[in-house]
Each structure stands twice: as structure tokens, then as C-alpha cells.
Amino acid sequence: MAGSSSGTEDVERPADVDLPANLEDVRSALIEWYEADHREFPWRETEDPYAILVSEVMSQQTQLDRVRPAFEAFLEEWPTAAELAAADRSDVVGFWSTHSLGYNNRAKYLHEAARQVHEEYDGEFPRTPQELQELMGVGPYTANAVASFAFNAGDAVVDTNVKRVLYRAFDVPDSDDAFERVASLLLPDGRSRVWNNAMMELGGVACGTTPRCDEAGCPWREWCSAYETGDFTAPDVPTQPSFEGSRRQFRGRIVRLLGEQEEMELDALGHRIRVDYTPDGEHGRDWLRGLLADLSDDGLVEVRERTDRTVVRLRE
């Protein structure tokens, strides 16, 4: 990804993209539109890098309406990186699973990243995208987002929404390299915080899967190729695996159910989490033991083999 010095007019314009002649007009229109009115999220009300990292990790492949209550509950439980670092990892993973936030590895990485900040950085978060990538589980996108929203020191954020905007507005070719180049060219110097928020807001509110150009007052209508031609196709987006019926959904059910019970016998647990559970069937004991093995590896459950039965309980 290009450095934060990008976005100036002396950056070479891509030959395969027809950008407006005056990029300052394009930038000003978007920022004014965003600052006049935008969706309110708690992570937009803070510049705390810890809170922003939590929100970014939670938001990966998770709908924002599920993220908001989980984000607020997480920060109530562990308000600082130091408090998260001191927490028992099984408690963090249990929170993640109970709130259906996706792969439990993200919780483990977030816990480890907090430990790194506390132990290796004396409690001070790294400030640049490159330094932030030294934290466990923090890739280029998340590092750039934290640098942008916490320190106003990031590069252009390029997510699915941003790609859709650039593809429609300026006929940017459907390639990661092209999206990165154009996004970096558009980024105003020293304004990554407001710019990246504004770009994602544009894609989430005005230029969604179903465009709302006029209703949302899209600030780029006068330059937008899709608005002019009526062709609102979008770049290909990899299909995300469905949460409904997934292994992680059933792992979450197990954790929630065991939280209400001292312990449960294996088959009784199976019948409670799945209506078509059949001990010797496709979704039977072997399938259930596989889920329990994952949860045991995460430090969440204990499986105890007794002479006449198998019982399961949350790990204390």
C-alpha cells in the first residue's frame, strides 16, 4: 500500500482510469458530505487505538448491528489493553463465542496483541501501519485502519465498500492493484481519519449493493460514471461462508448452554444444540466431539470420560 504522502496532485495518474481533472473538488465534496451527516458508531467517537483495534477485529465478516452491542460490552469488561492483557484467555474466547463474533482465533490474537502492547511497547500503541503489523493477528488492512482512525497517520483504506465506489464512479478496473493506486491518489495529505471514514460511509450509505444516489445525496454524482450511464454493476466479491448452520454457530450454542448447566452428558448436549442430532448419524457423537475438541483447544470446555458416560462442562 502506498505511503501516507500519497494523494497529492503530483502522483502519476493511472492511465487506465478516467479521473476528474480537479481532484480537490472531488475530495472536498466527499468530506463536506460526510461531515454534514453520517451514521454514528461508538468507535467513531474515540481516538483510542485499543478501542479502534477491538472494533476492527470484531467487524471482520460480522454485521455492524451485531458488533455494536458486543463492542460496548467488551470495553465494559476490559476497558484498556492492560486489563485485556491481564485477563484469562479462556474468558476472552468465551466472550467471543457467546456474542457470535466469528472465528475464535481472532479473540486469541486480540488478547495476545494486548499483551504485546503492555509488555513490549510499555503500554503505548505503535502509530504507523508498518509498526502495527507487528502485533499478533494484525494484517495490513487492520493496521492501516487503526493508524488512520486513532492517529490520523494511515494510508487509504480499501475495503469492499470502497472498491464498489471506485469501480462505479471512475470505472476503476476490478483488480486490487488498481483499487489501491486510485484510492491512494485520492487520499488528501494528512486527512486519513476523515477521508477513510467518509469513503466507507459513501459505500455503506449511498453506493451500496442497491445504490441510493439521490436519496443519500451522493456527493460524487456529477463525476460518477455509473450515475451517468445507469450501469450499477459492482466488482466481484468472494462469497462469505454462511453463519447459519456453521460449525462456529454450534460452538456458540454449546458455550451458551454449558453456561447455564454445571455439566451435561454428551448425547443430552447434542440433542439440545441440534434437533437432528443422532448419536450414530452424520451429525452425531463424532461430529459433536469434533466441536468439543475445538472448544477444548480454545480453553473453554472440559470433556470427562467416565466409566458409563461422557460429560462436558465449561472449564473453570
Catalytic residues: 56
Give the closest residue to 218 by CA, choosing from 226, 207, 208: 207
C-alpha cell at 264: 451435561
Residues in CB range of 308: below 8 A, 6 or more apart: none
CA–centroid distance for 80 within its chain: 19
Give the closest residue to 121 by CA, choosing from 134, 111, 104: 134
DSSP states of 124-176 as a string? PPP-SHHHHTTSTT--HHHHHHHHHHHHS-------HHHHHHHHHHH---SSH
